[in-house]
């Protein structure tokens, strides 16, 4: 049972969005080719889905500026620009993504007091979204992960998939992903590889 997890391919993380990832929109065509490949039994997308005033927003902390380290619920937290606010265009999946083929949209990041980079659980590794139970119930044996942003939500989702679903083979599709910084991407890729996640290109899926 092969599944594809498309992480946060939302307007907010694409050029013109509130937290744009360089070339973030370039993942859409690759993701669509994966969706159309017929290689997956199940396709899941995650959606960053914050309430207004979420505690990860710099705007929620007087004196804080975006992209500096602040504090949330007593722990260090990257201060982000307001992004992916529930019900706004910024939070919508990219309009060119073949959303009709997506079996489940897993929202995350609703709790204002904690961030949730991973599609599986919050940053305290505490509250589960239920996605791992869903995938295990579906009998998933292989999970390919890609999307935005490699150095945050993609990395944490892939690592959690490995840890929360022992025995599931996890791969990261590099050309279907983009990150916020190139140093962050390099570190994320090596961390994923170290944990046993295969780093592949979409071509391997399409011919495989």
Looking at beta carbons only, is 25 or 48 nearer to Zn ion?
A: 48
**Contacts of residue 178, Cβ cutoff 8 Å, sequence gap at least 6:** 21, 22, 23, 24, 26, 27, 148, 149, 150, 185
In the list 40, 49, 80, 172, the residue contacting ligand VGL (rule: CB under 6 A) is 80
In angstroms, what is the minimal distance from the CB of 149 to Zn ion? 10
**Closest by Cα among 193, 196, 176 to 4:** 176
Per the CB < 8 A criterion, the answer to whether 104 and 132 are in contact is: no
Query: Which secondary structure element, helix H or strand E, spans residue 6, and what is its range?
Result: strand 2-7
Q: Which window, 40-48, 126-134, 142-150, 197-205, contacts Zn ion (CB under 5 A)?
A: 40-48
Count CB-CB contacts under 10 A for residue 52. 13
| 155 in active site | no
Using the minimum distance from each CB to Zn ion, give the nearer residue, 22 or 81.
Answer: 81
Instruction: State how far the Cα of 139 lies from the Cα of 110, in Å rounded to an integer.
Output: 27
Query: Of Zn ion, ligand VGL, none, which one sits near residue 148, judging by CB under 5 to 8 A according to partner kind?
Result: ligand VGL
Binding track, positions 97-136, relative to ligand VGL; x by CB under 6 A:
--------------------x-------------------
Residue 112 tokens read as: 């204002």
- Here the tokens at position 29 are 């065509």
48 versus 151: smaller Cβ distance to Zn ion: 48
Footprint on this chain of ligand VGL (rule: CB under 6 A): 8, 13, 48, 80, 117, 148-149, 152-153
Q: Which residues are catalytic?
A: 8, 108, 153
């Amino acid at each position: 049972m092969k599944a594809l997890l498309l992480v946060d391919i939302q307007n907010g993380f694409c050029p013109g969005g509130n937290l744009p990832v360089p070339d973030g929109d370039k993942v859409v065509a690759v993701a669509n080719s994966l969706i159309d490949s017929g290689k997956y039994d199940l396709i899941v997308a995650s959606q960053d889905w914050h309430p207004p005033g979420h505690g990860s927003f710099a705007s929620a902390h007087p004196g804080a500026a975006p992209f500096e380290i602040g504090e949330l619920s007593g722990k260090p937290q990257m201060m982000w620009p307001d992004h992916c606010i529930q019900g706004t265009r910024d939070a919508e999946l990219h309009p060119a993504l073949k959303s009709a083929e997506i079996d489940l949209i897993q929202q995350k990041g609703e709790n204002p007091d904690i961030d949730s980079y991973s599609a599986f659980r919050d940053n305290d590794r505490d509250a589960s979204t239920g996605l791992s139970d869903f995938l295990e119930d579906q009998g998933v044996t292989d999970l390919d992960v890609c999307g935005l942003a490699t150095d945050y939500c993609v990395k944490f989702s892939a690592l959690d998939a490995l840890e929360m679903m022992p025995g599931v083979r996890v791969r990261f599709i590099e050309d279907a992903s983009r990150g916020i910084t190139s140093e962050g991407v390099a570190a994320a890729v090596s961390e994923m590889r170290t944990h046993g996640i295969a780093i592949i290109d979409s071509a391997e899926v399409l011919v495989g």
